[in-house]
Each structure stands twice: as C-alpha cells, then as structure tokens.
C-alpha cells in the first residue's frame, strides 16, 4: 500500500483522472470492491443479528451443545471466529485490489 501511495504522489502530475475513471480496468476494480464489501457486510450483519433474534424468539440457544455449555456460548464465540475470518479475507482481498489499482494507474500513465 505504501508503495502504491508513493507511486501516486510521484506520478500524480501525469495522471488523467477522467481517462482512468472511464477505463474498463477501473470499472472492474470498483465492481470487485463493491461486490466484496456488500456481500461481506450483509453476511456480517446477518450473522451478528442472528444471535439476538434466536435468543429472543426461540429456545434453540438454551439447549446444551457440549456438556453444560449452551448453543448461545457456541454462537457467541463463533462471532469472534467470524470476525477474524472476515479480517483475514479482507487483507487478502485488499492485496488483490492494490494489484488492480496498480494496473489501473499503469494504464492511466501509459495511455497518455
């Protein structure tokens, strides 16, 4: 990311932003970011809200899962795991988005 920022600062003078915004690679980058962000956000909110919904409207979470540990505790700790997994996925995707951004910038600079 730092390398990308330095590249933008150094070559900022030679970028044609209108040309970059109209390019297919930039549009693909935006679509990919939007798809990842939207799907991850919907999943996160759904998973997070499922705990109070199940707790208030069903008896499913009061049943024992492992010995004296109920499904409520299992679900609550699963939210920690879900958060770590989403963070890991974001880091992986951010690296892909950085590579796509580099391609957009190189085409924007080279296209002039």
Judged on CB neighbours under 10 Å (0-12, 13-18, 19+), 32 is middle
Quick: pLDDT tens for 41-74.
999 999 999 999 999 999 999 999 999 999 999 9
Q: Would you list the domain boundaries of the chain? A: 33-110
Q: What are phi and psi of 58, to 5 degrees?
A: -135, 170
Condensed to tens digits (0 to 9), the pLDDT of residues 72-103 reads 999 999 999 999 999 999 999 999 999 999 98
The pLDDT assigned to 69 comes to 93
Give the relative orientation of helices 24-57 and 71-110 as an angle to the nearest 10 degrees: 170
Q: Identify whether the C-beta of residue 101 lies closer than 8 Å to the C-beta of residue 69.
A: no
């Amino acid at each position: 990311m730092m390398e990308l920022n330095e590249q933008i600062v150094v070559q900022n003078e030679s970028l044609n932003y209108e040309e970059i915004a109209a390019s297919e690679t930039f549009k693909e980058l935006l679509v990919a970011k939007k798809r990842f962000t939207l799907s991850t956000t919907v999943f996160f909110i759904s998973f997070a809200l499922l705990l109070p919904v199940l707790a208030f409207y069903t008896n499913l979470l009061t049943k024992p899962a492992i010995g004296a540990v109920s499904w409520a505790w299992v679900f609550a700790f699963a939210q920690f795991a879900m958060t770590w997994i989403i963070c890991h996925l974001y880091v992986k995707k951010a690296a892909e988005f950085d590579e796509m951004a580099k391609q957009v910038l190189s085409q924007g600079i080279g296209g002039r």
